[in-house]
Amino acid sequence: MSRVYDDEQLAGAYERGNEMPEASLRAWVELIASYVQRTSPSIVEIGSGTGVFSAAMARWIEGSEVMAVDASEVMLAEARRHHPHPAVRYLSGEAEAVPAAAGTFDLALMSRVIHHIPDRARAARELVRVLRIGGRVVIRTTFRERLDALVYDFWPQLRAIDEQRFPGEEEVVGDFVSVGFTLDEATSFAQPVATNLAEYHTRLVSRPQSKFTHLTDEEFHRGLVRLEATARSEALGEPRPVLERYDVVVFSRL
């Protein structure tokens, strides 16, 4: 199947364009770790992209072993290059067919990937298979009803596009509960991704997210000019960090 992240330009841009300060990444890993119920856990990240979260979990969750699975060979190549770690194995695979034996993992992370998966119920069934009893799934996403990212201020047409792309919370919860998961928690968490708008602008120049593939070059450029102008006027006053909020839902396999 042809997928947007097989595009080498997007895969190459993703790593730098989606960086976040170390303190933010650490805060995310601490939140994820709070859902792990065993010491030295076995973790799978589905749709691991360039490996930022997989490597960070291996680094900060003591004794953890991480299998990082992605459907895109080009993203896996970026991950192996940018985020190698002795406790992380980067493997080619799909959410719907995880290359692991039944009952292998204590935790599965799906960060910014649920909207790319056409058959969520099938992916959820696959997670039931590969998780141990008591294992958990952490989904980090933006649900359709809470699309409030800063990008929509500069590319307003993206909101309607993302309303089509992102599932709602009820749909995702329904798919996971229908295959036997129990919903433990639905929350949200915000962390700074850039120290100010100018840094955020620099990050977005390379068009590093799949949502931007839905815009023409001209539409993208117009939004970027608006963002740059706002960043310039902000620079005259007190710079404010740019926050990104994500929804987090956690399920248990009983």
Q: Which residues contact 138 (CB under 8 A, 6 or more apart)?
A: 32, 35, 107, 108, 109, 110, 248, 249, 250
In three-state secondary structure terms, 67 is: strand
Half-sphere exposure of residue 8: CA atoms within 13 angstroms, side-chain side: 1
**Which of 13, 29, 36, 52 is close enough to bind ligand SAM by CB under 6 A?**
52
The two three-digit tokens of residue 86, written as one number: 């002795």
- Distance in Å, CB of 75 to ligand SAM, minimum: 4
Looking at beta carbons only, is 18 or 157 nearer to ligand SAM?
18
Looking at beta carbons only, is 20 or 231 nearer to ligand SAM?
20
Looking at beta carbons only, is 66 or 173 nearer to ligand SAM?
66
- Distance in Å, CB of 72 to ligand SAM, minimum: 3
The two three-digit tokens of residue 13, written as one number: 């841009």
**Which of 24, 48, 64, 104 is close enough to bind ligand SAM by CB under 6 A?**
48
**Which of 64, 104, 111, 252 is close enough to bind ligand SAM by CB under 6 A?**
111
Report how far apart, in Å, the C-alpha atoms of 76 and of each of 2, 5, 48 are: 16, 10, 8
Looking at beta carbons only, is 96 or 219 nearer to ligand SAM?
96
**Which of 94, 106, 126, 247 is close enough to bind ligand SAM by CB under 6 A?**
94
Q: Which range of residues in 67-75, 155-163, 165-173, 240-248 is near ligand SAM by CB under 6 A? A: 67-75
**Exposure pattern of 138-159 as b/e (b: 16+ CB <10 Å)?**
bbbbbbbeebebbbbebbeebe
Return the number of other C-beta atoms located less than 10 Å from residue 27's C-beta.
16
Q: Which residues bind ligand SAM (CB under 6 A)?
A: 3, 5, 18, 46-49, 52-53, 69-72, 75, 94-95, 111-113, 116-117
